[in-house]
Amino acid sequence: MSETLVNNLTGLSGLLLGVLCIIIIYFINRRVGRKKRLFDERQQYVTARSKAAAWNATSVILLAAWALIIIFDGISFSFFLMTGIWVAHNLSLIVTSVYFSNQN
């Protein structure tokens, strides 16, 4: 195996290990939170508001990164990757907005 392939596999294994740790911590946190009754309406309200604010911040960050890619890298793979991320970001907003508005 080449050195770049080994480096890429090492990086991917670190990413997968990080995701696995996040999943384990999530389930432990949910179990402890249920026992302590931490997930009431107040907590759900705070979580919904914080996710909405994080969504707005992510939109601004994505637009800034998109502009920097256009300035420094031009129209290349990075531009189209960022365009795909931007479209997926906004389509998920549309889909979830329609879904939750139909539930009410």
| 36-47 burial code (b ≥16 CB/10 A, e <16) | eeeeeeeeeeee
Residue bearing tokens 């392939």: 5
How far is Cα 84 from Cα 66, in angstroms, rounded to an integer? 11
Of residues 39 and 69, more confidently modeled: 69
- What is the per-residue pLDDT for 42? 84
Of residues 5 and 104, more confidently modeled: 5
Amino acid identity at 23: I
- Domain boundary assignment for the chain: 1-38, 40-104
- What is the per-residue pLDDT for 24? 97
Q: Terminal CA-to-CA distance of the chain, rounded, Å?
A: 56
- What is the per-residue pLDDT for 44? 83
Q: Report the chain's mean pLDDT, rounded to a whole number.
A: 89
Give the pLDDT band (50/70/90) at residue 40: confident
Average pLDDT over residues 69-81: 89
Q: What are phi and psi of 37, to 5 degrees?
A: 55, 50
Residue 39 DSSP label: -
Phi/psi zone of residue 40: left (φ > 0), alpha (ψ -120 to 50 degrees), beta?
beta
